[in-house]
Amino acid sequence: MERLTSDELRDCWPILSQPERVEAFQHMGRADSDDFFLELSAADQAVLLLAMEEGERRLWVRLLAPDDAADVVQLVSPTERSAVLGLLDETTRLEVTALLAYAEDAAGGLMSPRFARVRPEMSVNEAIRYLQRQAKEHLETIYYAYVLDPEQRLEGVVSFRDLFAAAGEKPLSEVMHTDVVSVRDSMDQESVAQVMAEHDLNAIPVVDELGHMKGIVTVDDIVDVVQREATEDIQKLGGMESLDTPYLQTPMLEMVRKRAGWLSALFLGELLTASAMSRFEDEIAKAVVLALFVPLIISSGGNSGSQATTLIIRAMALGEVKLGDWWRIMRREVVAGLSLGLILAALGLVRILVWERAFHSYGEHAVAVAATVALSLIGIVTWGTLAGSMLPFLIRRAGFDPASASAPFVATLVDVSGLVIYFSVAQVVLRGSLL
Amino acid sequence: MERLTSDELRDCWPILSQPERVEAFQHMGRADSDDFFLELSAADQAVLLLAMEEGERRLWVRLLAPDDAADVVQLVSPTERSAVLGLLDETTRLEVTALLAYAEDAAGGLMSPRFARVRPEMSVNEAIRYLQRQAKEHLETIYYAYVLDPEQRLEGVVSFRDLFAAAGEKPLSEVMHTDVVSVRDSMDQESVAQVMAEHDLNAIPVVDELGHMKGIVTVDDIVDVVQREATEDIQKLGGMESLDTPYLQTPMLEMVRKRAGWLSALFLGELLTASAMSRFEDEIAKAVVLALFVPLIISSGGNSGSQATTLIIRAMALGEVKLGDWWRIMRREVVAGLSLGLILAALGLVRILVWERAFHSYGEHAVAVAATVALSLIGIVTWGTLAGSMLPFLIRRAGFDPASASAPFVATLVDVSGLVIYFSVAQVVLRGSLL
């Protein structure tokens, strides 16, 4: 393999197989390779580490910050875990072991334990000199220093900028901000991202239930979290299990499995449409024209349901809509659903009557058929919108992720009830004429 | 209205109307209100500013950094724009006016022009003292200093941490990193977010076409961008125009308009299913049993298409899949589609034959009907998967946003072709028996 620069390798990395990656990395110039290694995902870092000779591993593992090392350790098999931990220096090993105790998607699993700690009675000049010494070590950031009492409880925060702007002899207790926004170590990462975005923070302290400071989460970790959570939600909304790896790196078998699960479940649900239809077999035999509009009717219900469920799930993920808002949302969505239903009904009515006038497509009862389609559309679109908007609330109330109310799931639910609505309307409107 | 603390107000802010927000803000304690104001969205800031007395406005507008002030100015009506600009001091006004020239969603529209500039021949100690003085002014960040030549071209970058760790008398040219990752001012914000996430940067310099440094984009702005872009994509995938405002703050009329547009377009497309069905009216009249499976068949095609299009659009948004990858993706998706089709066909076959054995639901030709449904499913699921995965490439190739290939759009496309596939298979399989 020819020798690649780190930029070239960065570009073609996603399309390389694992053995190719290992080989390319081993052929890289030493000068570029450490930055390159640090930019890789934890999964890639783990693969490269395990492919290395024993003697070389230590060098690379020790390059990682404790939170990144913990991510890598979590990804190797349990048998190799202690070997990898053994490569770390004593301090880091203790930190990594502590981090491993947290769920990967909680604040505790995301935080770095290496933050700058200062005492309230230090002067500004002492703090600056202290941070200057610390800058040579591997702190996650030196731009915020956290003021802790002797029990490690968080009392305040000073930014480097505050220190520079303040008079040198002042004690930190007079300079620090005491209204510190912090998060609990057990808070899930999506909520941490929301708190940080809301307050425009670059780093947020993580505390345990007694208020002891355990670490900091920095905003660059949050960008990854936000991207990953959005990807998960989008894939669930698309009607499949979320992939854990980039599309091109997901093995075919795993991808088919993750798609087939939901697709089969939806198919089994959709089989109910065949049962629903067979209840109306006589009506279809008498008025075949009714069958012509079945796809139109059910897809309109499905589309309006998809819209509503997508809107509500995203608003929930962003914290714009809470569980208690269901009643307000329901009133809004009934109005929206009725308006949308009326618009589609008008379009359907015009289409059928124009086609009838131009091509005589629907026989002598065209007006009655048009009325059936239009009335059904109003009912189905309103119902689809209502069901689509309320389902995320029900799922969340039951304790599950609302994003599981995927758009195809809502569409399937609405398909079955849509058919019942359509043929019931037909039985009333067309009684005595076609039926 | 009773006086609220900033935390209480933060909690109930989303559910307040505009006049209530203005009133609540005016009743807030002065001590909290500036932090609170800075955390608000540009839209909220604009509303509050315009509601204030002339004399008070200047105070609040000057609190904003130039990039935030530019966002606010962009949101007020053109007639009020110059009045708001007039409230700024001379320097900021020039900066804001320069920022207004950039598209809001390009790097230039996102950047702050207030970064720390240093010269390569400065010593480390001089740079630290210089940054200490600058810290008292309103720089966006003092944690990175950018080393510029006399023509303002970017030569390198030093972090504060580098400065602290280096010997004080060294010139910056020996301490700085010269392999600086920068972006062009015209780069769109999604790409900027990708570059920053890839390189794990806290701030990225923005340069014009001649390499002159114009500003920096910081990672806290990028979190907002990533959230907003994901919301846009999710809403488009759900089959509607993206809302520009949070769900509960979007006026009903605007929301119905944004949903009705796509819903009507999909409805008009879906009308083609009625035309497709009417071509097979004779077959349906002869074999009503065929109509029973229409919803099942078309929704399976739609669901598999939704999955594929969702996967590809997200992979494109994350930069995992490029335009040139279409051929690889096509091969993968044909395999995935065939596998998924076979799974669903097997499920359908079993269901029909079991129901026939148990309830005699489908008459003497049940096996032929089952074969028709199963063969159609293989064809339709493969076609749905293929169409769903390739459509984003076509749309992107044509220069549009691939997220416009919403899942409902793909489903509609697949519905029409699915019907043609189903009835064509039926004509072949059932010839001489039912048809």
CA atoms within 13 Å, Cβ hemisphere of A277: 27
A266 and B CB contact within 8 Å: yes
Strand partners, A147: A118, A156
Expressed in percent and rounded to 5, the helix, strand and coil fractions of chain A are 65, 10, 25
Q: What tokens appear for A184 in the block?
A: 């609990």
Contact B164 A196 (CB under 8 A): no
Give the CATH H-level superfamily of domain A6-101: MgtE N-terminal domain-like (1.25.60.10)
Instruction: Write the DSSP string, A124-140.
Output: HHHHHHHHHHHTTS--S
Contact B312 A281 (CB under 8 A): no
In single-letter form, the type of residue at position A216 comes to I
- Alpha helices in B318-432, H assignment, sequence order: 326-359, 366-397, 407-429
| Distance in angstroms (rounded) separating the CA atoms of residues B315 and B406 | 14
Strand partners, A146: A117, A157
- Alpha helices in A154-293, H assignment, sequence order: 160-165, 172-175, 189-199, 219-237, 252-279, 281-286, 288-292
The pairing of strands A116-118 and A144-148 is: parallel
User: In this predicted structure, what is the pLDDT of residue B1?
Assistant: 47
Comparing CB atoms, the residue among B219, B284, B289 nearest residue A223 is: B219
Instruction: Check if the beta carbon of residue B155 is closer than 8 Å to that of residue B120.
Output: yes
Instruction: Check if the beta carbon of residue B412 is closer than 8 Å to that of residue B266.
Output: yes
Q: What is the least distance, in Å, from the CA of B79 to any CA of chain A?
A: 31
H/E run at residue B207: strand B203-207
| Distance in angstroms (rounded) separating the CA atoms of residues A65 and A39 | 12
Listed residue (B363, B90, B154) closest to A285, CA to CA: B363
In A49-68, the residues whose Cβ lies within 8 Å of chain B are none
Domains B6-102 and B247-429 share a fold: no
Give how far Cα A106 sits from Cα of A192, A225, B276, B326, Å. 8, 11, 52, 37
The pairing of strands A203-207 and A183-184 is: parallel
Name chain B contacts of A266, Cβ cutoff 8 Å: 299-300, 303
Instruction: Write the DSSP string, B367-385.
Output: HHHHHHHHHHHHHHHHHHH
User: In this predicted structure, what is the pLDDT of residue A3?
Assistant: 62
Phi, psi of B196 (to 5 degrees): -65, -40
Interface predicted TM-score (ipTM) over 0.85: no
Contact A247 B222 (CB under 8 A): no
Contact A277 B291 (CB under 8 A): yes
In chain B, which residue's Cα lies nearest the Cα of A341? B260
Q: Over range A52-76, report the average pLDDT.
A: 82
Q: What is the least distance, in Å, from the CA of A198 to any CA of chain B?
A: 7
Instruction: Check if the beta carbon of residue B95 is closer than 8 Å to that of residue B200.
Output: no
Q: What tokens appear for B151 in the block?
A: 């023509």
| Distance in angstroms (rounded) separating the CA atoms of residues A341 and B417 | 25
Domain limits of chain A?
A: 6-101, 116-235, 247-429
Comparing CB atoms, the residue among A247, A263, A303 nearest residue B239 is: A303
Rg (CA), chain B: 30
A256 and B CB contact within 8 Å: yes
Instruction: Check if the beta carbon of residue A130 is closer than 8 Å to that of residue A118.
Output: yes
Lowest pLDDT segment from A297-311, A326-340, B46-60, B374-388: B46-60
A143 and B CB contact within 8 Å: yes
In A363-392, the residues whose Cβ lies within 8 Å of chain B are 381
The region that residue B102 occupies, defined by phi over 0 for left and psi between -120 and 50 for alpha, beta otherwise, is: beta
Contact B284 A281 (CB under 8 A): no
Contact B273 A260 (CB under 8 A): no
User: In this predicted structure, what is the pLDDT of residue A135?
Assistant: 67
The pairing of strands B183-184 and B203-207 is: parallel
Comparing CB atoms, the residue among A10, A298, A320 nearest residue B295 is: A298
Alpha carbon of residue A315 to chain centroid: 12
Alpha carbon of residue A186 to chain centroid: 18
Q: pLDDT, tens digit, for every residue of A380-406?
A: 999 999 999 999 999 888 888 887 767
| Distance in angstroms (rounded) separating the CA atoms of residues A282 and A213 | 72
pTM: 0.76
The single residue listed with the structure tokens 């946003």 is: B401
Phi, psi of A184 (to 5 degrees): -75, 150
Contact B200 A193 (CB under 8 A): no
Name chain A contacts of B260, Cβ cutoff 8 Å: 339-340, 343
Mutate to test the interface with B, among A225, A314, A325 (most CBs of B within 10 A): A314
Q: Over range A327-345, report the average pLDDT.
A: 93
Instruction: Write the DSSP string, B97-166.
Output: HHHHTS-TTBHHHH-BS--EEE-TTSBHHHHHHHHHHHTTS--S-SSEEEEE-TT-BEEEEEEHHHHHHS
Q: What is the least distance, in Å, from the CA of A10 to any CA of chain B?
A: 9
User: In this predicted structure, what is the pLDDT of residue A2?
Assistant: 56
Comparing CB atoms, the residue among B142, B252, B292 nearest residue A161 is: B142
| Distance in angstroms (rounded) separating the CA atoms of residues A149 and B370 | 75
Buried b (16+ CB within 10 A) or exposed e, B289-309: bbbbbbbbbbbbbbbbbbbbb
Architecture per CATH, B6-102: Alpha Horseshoe (1.25)
Instruction: Check if the beta carbon of residue A59 is closer than 8 Å to that of residue A40.
Output: no
Q: Over range A168-183, report the average pLDDT.
A: 89
Contact A234 B314 (CB under 8 A): yes
Listed residue (A371, A379, A376) closest to A350, CA to CA: A371
* pLDDT-above-90 percentage for chain A: 20
Q: pLDDT, tens digit, for every residue of A228-270?
A: 888 888 888 887 888 888 888 888 888 888 888 888 888 888 8
In chain B, which residue's Cα lies nearest the Cα of A228? B318
Each residue's pLDDT expressed in tens, for chain B with a length of 435 residues: 456 677 777 777 766 777 888 888 877 766 677 778 888 888 888 888 888 887 788 888 888 888 888 888 888 888 888 888 888 888 888 888 888 877 777 888 888 888 888 888 888 888 888 887 776 665 667 678 899 998 889 999 998 878 877 887 889 999 899 888 999 998 988 888 888 877 878 889 999 998 899 989 988 788 888 888 888 888 888 878 888 888 888 888 888 888 888 888 888 888 888 888 888 888 888 888 889 999 999 989 988 998 899 889 888 888 888 888 999 999 999 999 999 999 999 999 998 888 888 887 777 788 899 999 999 999 999 999 999 999 999 988 888 888 776 778 888 888 889 999 999 999 999 888 777
Fold category of A116-235 in CATH: CBS-domain (3.10.580)
Give how far Cα A75 sits from Cα of A87, B14, B267, Å. 16, 40, 47
DSSP at A106: B
B116-219: CATH, from 3.20.20.70, 3.30.70.380, 3.10.580.10, 3.40.50.620: 3.10.580.10
Q: pLDDT, tens digit, for every residue of B127-178?
A: 888 887 776 665 667 678 899 998 889 999 998 878 877 887 889 999 899 8
Q: pLDDT, tens digit, for every residue of B278-335?
A: 888 888 888 888 899 999 999 899 889 988 998 898 888 888 888 889 999 999 999 9
Name chain A contacts of B303, Cβ cutoff 8 Å: 239, 263, 266-267, 408, 411-412
In single-letter form, the type of residue at position A370 comes to A
The single residue listed with the structure tokens 């030569």 is: B155
In chain A, which residue's Cα lies nearest the Cα of B227? A226
Instruction: Check if the beta carbon of residue B428 is closer than 8 Å to that of residue B285.
Output: no
Comparing CB atoms, the residue among B273, B332, B408 nearest residue A296 is: B273
Compute the CA torsion angle A67, A68, A71, A73 (nearest 10 deg). Answer: -100
Interface contacts (A, B; CB < 8 Å): 348
User: In this predicted structure, what is the pLDDT of residue B139?
Assistant: 66
Name chain B contacts of A246, Cβ cutoff 8 Å: 315, 318, 320
Q: pLDDT, tens digit, for every residue of A129-155?
A: 887 777 666 566 767 889 999 888 999
Q: What is the least distance, in Å, from the CA of A68 to any CA of chain B?
A: 12
**Which CATH class, in words, describes the domain spanning B247-429?**
mainly alpha
Listed residue (A13, A81, A14) closest to A46, CA to CA: A81
Comparing CB atoms, the residue among A136, A164, A303 nearest residue B132 is: A164
